[in-house]
Every structure is written in structure tokens, then in C-alpha cells.
Amino acid sequence: MTEGNDGRLDLSAPATPEMMGLVHAVLEQLWEAHDDVAATDRVRFEMAVIEILGNIVEHAYEIDSTDTGSRRFDVSVAATETELVASFGDNGLPMSIDLSDVAMPDELAESGRGLALAMAAVDDLSYERENGRNLWRLTCTRKG
Amino acid sequence: MTEGNDGRLDLSAPATPEMMGLVHAVLEQLWEAHDDVAATDRVRFEMAVIEILGNIVEHAYEIDSTDTGSRRFDVSVAATETELVASFGDNGLPMSIDLSDVAMPDELAESGRGLALAMAAVDDLSYERENGRNLWRLTCTRKG
Amino acid sequence: MIEFAVETTPQGIAVVRPQGRLNMAAARRLKEVLDGLVGDGRNRIVVDMEETTFLDSSGLGALIAGLKSARQAGGDLRVARPTEAVRTVFSLTNLDRVLKPRDTVEDAFDD
Amino acid sequence: MIEFAVETTPQGIAVVRPQGRLNMAAARRLKEVLDGLVGDGRNRIVVDMEETTFLDSSGLGALIAGLKSARQAGGDLRVARPTEAVRTVFSLTNLDRVLKPRDTVEDAFDD
Ligand SMILES: Nc1ncnc2c1ncn2[C@@H]1O[C@H](COP(=O)(O)OP(=O)(O)O)[C@@H](O)[C@H]1O
Ligand SMILES: Nc1ncnc2c1ncn2[C@@H]1O[C@H](COP(=O)(O)OP(=O)(O)O)[C@@H](O)[C@H]1O
């Protein structure tokens, strides 16, 4: 949870599409508290965060669709002098694909760009399955 | 943290005035997920939540003003069939006054209404000091 | 962020319209706006709260402060068209008498 | 919530203006709007993105879907006035060629 950064914002909420707006609001707050973060860095970080959250909401609970109540995620975002960092945790099903296999699909494909876009946007994206939880970590090295 | 309610929203953030807008956004999300909560219940709950948060931001760190970085709070809000519940935790200084002494000040007083207003708005407001943390708990029994 | 639109009626009454949430940060600015009006000799003020979606004790404090300085200057401050959120706060704090809300901006100074 | 204003130019070109965040929920609605236009025979479409503050892969998918159905109907879909957020997504996905953004809505169908 990006320990050591006292300015971080942590949210834990049900994994529903409506929560995407709240995560945008969390990021708006982060930018307000760190008004020196360059627009280019905000844009690519926010986009990657929303892609990963969108995947959690859409995919991580697909098969396990009986027990809506317990579908939750948590997210922590922080800005340091040099980096923007986000980490996600969720108790959904494990990711089916290997990040090293992710590639941008055909130009006219209507879907399948989420992970490729997130990976292109940030400087580091990692995924781990730990203690029955999915853990995602995103890092942008600040350019601005 | 209102255990047993899987729809709850938890936020942890620096205890700064800017975070009040984010807590409003969290509550907006709660109302969106629970659109059957009556307007009267939303109004009194939101007001009490914001009063308690305002006090944390304003008072709980007053003397201890050297170490801005570690001033944080967490809040958890949830709606059940019968109740609206919020709990706050913060690592600031202990509350100086006893809730049973709280009364509405003179009509023309310009301050000192926060706690009295929060207590009048909700059905239960409690404060505890536990393990060096301040814990506040608010409960509204749903009327609507 | 809350906005403060200020207008003057043909009768010389200043109308302040806090739009959005009247909370801690906004209360400080409302107090400045009200102090500025009274300082300019415009001591008859209507606070039109039709679009005030939220009010807390600090917003209430700014209204009371404005009321007191308007009265000290020989004028008054009156509240018009409160939303449900505003009315709830007035009634929970027993201020509906001192901040007696009026139904319209036009008639706010009729009595 | 995102809004979709739709206009028609004197040349019969439909102009769609997604205002706000073009994300998962909004993408679904944009796809419906674009499908509706092509279904009505309005297959020359400009998506004016001057006020699109955010775009993700699902929004991009809706644009590509609209582009394909407009072309299948003998028309085209063109993007005008992308914000920085939109341009970033186009360039990271290498779609600046297929969704080549135009500087103005008026000239979007000039070539
Ligand atoms: N959080 C996740 N949990 C499980 N599977 C996932 C997750 N994120 C992505 N995937 C898998 O990776 C695939 C590619 O995802 P993505 O690149 O975002 O494109 P899309 O979401 O448009 O299919 C998805 O179709 C899904 O099978
Ligand atoms: N979270 C808190 N931590 C420490 N002291 C507090 C806290 N909340 C309230 N207090 C004390 O209680 C007093 C009354 O608070 P309140 O009723 O909210 O009115 P006001 O904030 O306008 O003074 C405050 O002046 C402060 O001394």
C-alpha cells in the first residue's frame, strides 16, 4: 500500500462499475494535493489506473457471479517527488493471461486494448497472485 | 469498520481540509448505490459526517503541528436496510471535551455548533480513545 | 468549488447566491463577501439559498456573523429559498427564528 | 455523467460531442448513439472531442465500432479537436493513423 508515503489516498469499495467515478474523484484529490504533477503524467497515470480498475470490475469476478456482496477491491494512490504509484488488491478470480503475452490488437479491433494501453502508459505494471488475492502495481516515473 | 456490510466504502487519507470534498464524493457514491435512502436521512447523515470530519481536520491536530505528514484519518460509511453508519479513526490528540457536556450555544454565537449539530442530526454519536487513536461512530436509524 | 454570485435589486438590496456546498472553505469566503458588502454600506442583504446544496456549522457561523454585522450597521441579513439541507440545519440548531427563511428573494425585506 | 450533444451541419454531417469522461458506461451509450445515426442513414459523422476530458480503451472501442459501421454504410467517422487525454490514448494505441484527428469540425470531411 505504498508505505512511507503519508500523502497517499486509500479506498476500499465494492467492485462495481459505479466506483470508477469515485476513483476519478480520488485522483482529482491527489492532483489537487500535488499540483506540480505535469499534465502528461496525470493523463497516462489516470488512464492506466482506470484500465486496471475496469478490468477488475469486468473480468475478475466473471465466473464467480453468485456472491455479489463480497466483490470488493482496494486501491492506494500516491505521488512522490519522482513517481506516481498505484496499487490494487481484489479477492476475485486469478488473471487468466500472462502480462508478457499482452500485445496491442489489430487496428480495427473493438476491444482487447486495456492491458496493452495500461502497459504503454506507465513505466512499470506488475501483477501477482498472493494469498488468494490479485495484486496490481503501477508506477509512472514523473517526466514533468 | 462496520464489518459485515460488504457495500461499505472505506477511505484513508491525509487529514486536510481538501479531503472534505472527497468524503462528499464517497457519500454521493453511497447514495447512488442505495437510491432508496430517503432525502431526510441523507441530509442529516451527510451533515453529521462532515461535522465530525471538519473537527478532525481542524482540532485533532492543533497542538501537534510539527509533523504534517503523518496526520491522517480513515472513514468507513455504509447503509443497511435499517441504518446509516459511519466510523472515523484518527491518530490526532485526544478530544478535550465530554460529549455529555455538549450543548447548542447562544443563538448569535458564530461557532461551537458542530458537535451539537452532529448529535442532533444522528440517532447515536459516540467517541472513544483507543490505542492512541480517536474513534468516532455515527448511526442514523433510517426514517425514510 | 462554491460560487458566490452577487446582485443588487432596484431597491438597493444586495442578493448573494451561494451555489453548491457551503462548508468550511466556502464559509470563509462567504464571510469575506458579506463583510465586503457591509463595509461598502450595503447593509440590507438577502442570502438566496435556492442552490445551496449543503450547509454545515461553519456556513451557519458565516451567516450569523453576516447577520450581526449587517444589524450593527443598521441593516439586516435575510435568508430566502432554503433547500431541504439548509432547512434541516436551521431547525436542528433552533435558528429558524433568528434566520427565519423567506419564500422569495423579492419579499424578503417586506416585513 | 457524460452528455452526448448531437447536431447536423448544413452539409448533412452529424456532429457528436461527448462531454466529460468517455469511459466504460459512457462508451456503451456512445456506441448506441453512433449506431442510431448510421441506422438513420447519417453515415458521415464527426466526433468532436474538444470537451472529452478522459478516454479509455472502452471509449476507443466505441469509436472504432462507429468507424467500422459508418464505413460499411459508405460513410466515415472522423475525430476532431482531441484533448491531450484523447491524443495520448490515440498515440499509445497507435491509432492516430486510423483515427487521424482533425483540427476543426468544419474541415473534418475536407479530404
Ligand atoms: N483483472 C483481471 N482479472 C481477470 N482477467 C483479466 C483481468 N484483466 C484482464 N483480464 C483478461 O485479459 C484480457 C484482456 O484484457 P484487456 O486488455 O483489458 O482487454 P478487454 O478488457 O477489452 O478484453 C481480458 O479479456 C481478460 O480475459
Ligand atoms: N476531533 C476533535 N479533536 C479534538 N477536539 C475536538 C474535536 N472535535 C471537537 N473538539 C473540541 O470541541 C469543541 C467544540 O467543537 P464544535 O462543536 O465542533 O464547534 P467548533 O468546531 O465550531 O468549535 C472544539 O472547539 C474543540 O475544542
Instruction: List, for chain A, all residue ranges whose pLDDT scores fall below the cut of 50.
Output: 1-3
Query: Going by C-beta distance under 8 Å and a sequence separation of 6 or more, which residues neighbour residue B132?
Result: B91
User: B99: domain CATH number?
Assistant: 3.30.565.10
The CA distance from C91 to C101, in Å, is 11
CB-based burial of residue B118 (10 Å sphere; 0-12 exposed, 13-18 middle, 19+ buried)? Answer: buried
* Cβ-Cβ contacts under 8 Å, A69 against chain B: 6-7
Q: pLDDT confidence of B64, banded at 50, 70, 90?
A: low
Q: What is the pLDDT of residue B70?
A: 75
Nearest CA to ligand 2 atom 2: B60
Q: State yes or no: pLDDT of B92 exceeds 60.
A: yes
Q: What is the pLDDT of residue C90?
A: 97
CB-based burial of residue B66 (10 Å sphere; 0-12 exposed, 13-18 middle, 19+ buried)? Answer: exposed
Exposure string over A23-54, b if 16+ CB within 10 A, otherwise e:
bbbbbebbbebbeebeeebbbbbbbbbbbbbb
ipTM given for this complex: 0.89
Question: End-to-end alpha-carbon separation of chain D, Å?
Answer: 34
Least CB–CB distance from A20: residue in D23, D88, D95: D23
Q: Is the CB of B60 under 6 A from ligand 2?
A: yes
Q: Which long-range contacts (CB under 8 A, 24 or more apart) does A125-131 make?
A: A125/A48, A125/A52, A125/A99, A126/A99, A127/A95, A127/A99, A129/A94, A129/A95
- pLDDT per residue as tens digits for the range D15-69: 999 999 999 889 999 999 999 999 999 999 999 999 999 999 999 999 999 999 9
Q: Is the CB of B125 under 6 A from ligand 2?
A: no
Count up the domains in chain B and report the number. 1
Q: State yes or no: pLDDT of D88 exceeds 60.
A: yes
Domains of chain D with bracketed CATH: 3-99 (3.30.750.24)
Cell numbers at C53, concatenated:
446544496
Domain that holds residue B10: 2-141
Q: Is the CB of B112 under 6 A from ligand 2?
A: yes
- pLDDT per residue as tens digits for the range C55-86: 999 999 999 999 999 999 999 999 999 999 99
Q: What is the pLDDT of residue B3?
A: 42
Give which of A95, A84, A70 is closest to A31, Cα–Cα: A84
Of A49, A96, A110, best ligand 1 pocket probe by most atoms within 8 Å of the beta carbon: A96
Q: D84-92 and A114-121 are packed helices; what angle lies between their axes, rounded to 10 degrees?
A: 110
CB-based burial of residue C49 (10 Å sphere; 0-12 exposed, 13-18 middle, 19+ buried)? Answer: buried
The CA distance from A64 to A67, in Å, is 7
Chains with 3 or more CB pairs under 8 A to chain C: B
Exposure string over A90-106, b if 16+ CB within 10 A, otherwise e:
bbbeebeeeeeebebee
Q: State yes or no: pLDDT of C2 exceeds 70.
A: no
The CA distance from A85 to A71, in Å, is 24
DSSP state of C102: B
For B81-88, what is the mean pLDDT? 97
Cell numbers at B23, concatenated:
468524503
* Cβ-Cβ contacts under 8 Å, C92 against chain B: 44, 117, 120-121
